[in-house]
Structure formats: C-alpha cells, structure tokens
Structure 1
Amino acid sequence: MEKLLCPSMMCANYRNLEKEVNDLIEAGVDIFHIDIMDGQFVPNFGMGLQDVEYICKASTIPVDAHLMIENPGNYVEKFAKLGIDIIYIHPESDVHPTRTLQSIIDLGVKPGIAINPGTAVETIKPLLPFVDYVMVMSVNPGFSGQKYISSVDEKIAQLVELKEKYGYEVMLDGACSPERVETLSKVGVKGFILGTSALFGKEKSYKEIVKELRSL
C-alpha cells in the first residue's frame, strides 16, 4: 500500500531549518507535519508562527497543522492564511467541532481530526463525513519520544473498516517505528507522522531512510 510519510518538524534541527526542509523534500517525503500547542490542552508549547510561515513558504509539498489547542475554531483562519494545506483539530478541545471543520472546508483547506488514545471511535463518528483525514494518536499528545500505546490497535482497525464508507484516510501519530510502519500500512493505515522513532537523529541520511520506509 502506498504510504504518506510526514516528518514531524518539531523534531527537526532548528539550527538550520532551511537545510532540513530542503533535505526532506529531496528525500521524497509527502507532507510536513507541524505541531501547534498552547500549554493548556497539552502541557507543552509547540512551534512558533514564524516557523510555520517559513515552512509554508519554503515548501513545495503540502504542510499540515496539528492544533493541540483549546478552541481551535478561533485560529483556523490564521493558519489557513499562513498557507497551511491540512488542519487537524482535536474534537476533545472544541465545543462545536462540526462547525470548526466546516470553517476549515470553507477556507479551502483540507479538514482532519486527531483523536487521543482515550477517545472512542463511537464518539467521533458524527464527524467522519466532514473530514479527509483521521489521525490516531498512539501516544498522549504533547511530547515526542513516548512509547506506543498498543490499545489503539483496536481503534485503528475500526477506523480502517469505516474509511470506505466515509472517504477519509487513516493516519498515525506517535512512536511510528519502521516496524510499526510496515505492520500498519498492511492493514490500511495510509499516513505516518515520523519523529525520532524512524526519521530524525539517525546516522543514515533522510533519503536513505525514506527509501527504506517506502520499501517496507
């Protein structure tokens, strides 16, 4: 199955962001993944707006924004204006997630939802007709380098089964090791957010790693 490989730019080397962006594009990645955190919905802070703006301007591939923030509906227009192509919201953080997803669509951006390990598929079913992507969090959101929570495997299976009916792609964010990319791509997961488990901080080049991940 063809994969979408999406580097998590929170893990990139910020001493030379221009080189990181160019090297990753040259390696053949599909989507830049940007984590936005407010210190409230998750106990951490993510990338700044200047970084987001730079990556959007420098990129020749789509860029997504994962809004781990309270009341994301108040900010989707701002990220659309920066040039973001895909916006993920957490239904858990939004009183009116359907309205926010419709706002994203109206702005000409692709809508997605990200769901925490403790969020059941049944609770987000009403949102599935509105989204292009469903991103399963296999770690608790907010920090890189966490261990995979295996109980999400059942949720992944449910969402893969439903995707033909609703027309979205299943994505995975958290502890995406090469072994997990290989296993889950075979069962129907389309996209993988790549951090330190598979892509960053390795001795091999991005080009070598991406080639190996595609071959799995």
Structure 2
Amino acid sequence: MSLMLSPSMMCADFSNLASQVKQLDEAGVDMYHMDVMDGKYVPNFALGPEDYRTIRKLTNKSLDAHLMIENPRNYVEFFSELGADLIYFCPDAEVQPARTIDDIHALGKKAGIAVNTGTSFAMVEELLPKIDYVLVMTVHPGFAGQPFQDFVLPKLDRFISAKKKYGYVLGIDGAVSRTKITKLHAQGVDNFILGTSALFGKEKSFAETINEIRKENE
C-alpha cells in the first residue's frame, strides 16, 4: 500500500485549530488521527466529543477514532455518529473483542485494533482475519512526546509478515520520526501517525514537511 500520513490531533494547537486543519488539508494528509482517552484506561484525557465534532466540521477527509477507553464497545455507535470512518479499540480493554469488531462493521465503518506495547502478537492473532487496520503502539499509550520503544520491533515484524495473508493496513503510533518512517515504510508499514516527532511544532510548514516525507519515501 502507498504511504499514509495521519496527523495526531491531540498534538495540534487548539487555539488555532481551524487554520491548522486547513493547512493540513492543503498539505495532503490522508486521515486525521483522533485519540480519545478517558483517564481510566490510560492516565490521561484527550479529545472529547466536542473536539471531535469540531474537527469533523472542519474537514471532509477521513477521521479515525482511537478509543483508549474502558469498555470501548459501549461507545462505538457514539463515535460512528460523530463521524468516525475508522474505529480503533484496544482488545485488552474489551471482554469480547470480536463482537466489538462486528459492531463496528455493522455500522458501515472500518474496524481497527490498537496493539499496546504490552500486548503480544499472539494475543490478537485470532482477530486479524476480521479487522481492516492494525495500529502498533511504539510508545506506552497515553502521552505524546515519549521515546520510541525499540523492544516492540520484533512484534512489528510479525505484523508485517502477517499483513499479506490477512490484508489489513498496518500503522504505527508513537515517536514517529522521519527516519523511522523511511526505515519502516520500506519494511512494510503503511500508515504513520504524525505527532511532535515529525510534524507539529516545527519551523517548516505542514505542506513542506508532508511533501518532504513523501519524496523521501518514493
């Protein structure tokens, strides 16, 4: 699959949100990554319903919903109605993750699993025939600005190897630098969540950065 670049909107400047979304749209990003945190499943809060509604109104591009919350199945329909095109959930947060996937598909949405640093390939392998996207966390979930966790790379290799068999889109989320994008895209990762390591808070414009990343990975 071609390179997908998905800005992590928890890293955006919300005092200038409309302008930032317009600039990101014009830069040609592929999908907006929306972290939803409840302060329970992870020790932080992020992107509540009003944030989601606002960004949905500002762009026609696809939005995901990365549900880092307890009992995510209870909120699948809610975020679908808010305009999510793809819903990720953490399988370890759900009693019956296969039913959560079915619920997402029943709503006409893409279903994804977010694989935390402490979740093994074996723990989610049986779900792979059912899902559309896999998002491997390369930092511990909950906070931006953490270092990349190299110990997850052998696990990532297993998801890369299984991708052809199961047909999912494979992404990574956490400390995604341009160097990491170039190396891991060549190995088979499709989708990169862009935060402060590669996109936000830089002197260059979003368009310059996105264009450079795409040229580096042609």
Shared fold, TM over 0.5: yes
Alignment check: 8 A CA contact 1:63 1:85 kept:
yes
Partner of 1:38: 38
Alignment correspondent of 1:153:
153
1:108 CA displacement: 0.6
- C-alpha distance in structure 2 between counterparts of 1:185 and 1:66, whole Å: 21
Q: Which amino acid aligns with 2:74?
A: N
Gaps of 5+ in 2: none
Q: Could you give the per-residue CA deviations for residues 91-144 of structure 1, whole angstroms, max 9, x where no partner exists?
A: 010001100010000001100000111111011011111111100000000000
Distance 1:177 1:85 in 2: 26
Match of 1:192 in 2: 192
Q: How much does 1:201 deviate?
A: 0.1
Unaligned runs of 5+ residues in structure 1 are none
| Alpha-carbon distance, 1:2 to partner | 2.2
SS for the counterpart of 2:98 is helix
CA distance in 2, matches of 1:149, 1:49: 30
Q: State how far apart, in whole Å, the 1-side matches of 2:39 and 2:51 are.
A: 18
Q: Where does 1:1-216 land on structure 2 (aligned, <5 Å)?
A: 2-216=2-216
TM-score by length of 2: 0.98
Contact 1:57 1:83 (8 Å CA) reproduced: no
d(CA) in 2 for partners of 1:43, 1:212:
34
Which residue identity lines up with residue 177 of structure 2 in the other structure?
Answer: S
By how many angstroms is 1:57 displaced? Answer: 2.2
Identity score, percent: 50
Q: Distance in 2 between matches of 1:18 and 1:58?
A: 7
Q: Which letter maps to 1:8?
A: S
Q: Which amino acid aligns with 1:106?
A: A
Aligned residues: 216
Aligned CA-pair RMSD = 0.8
What TM-score comes out, normalization by structure 1 length?
A: 0.98
CA deviation after TM superposition for structure 1 residue 198, in Å: 0.1
Deviation at 1:180, TM superposition (A): 0.2
Q: Runs of 4+ in structure 1 displaced over 6 angstroms?
A: none
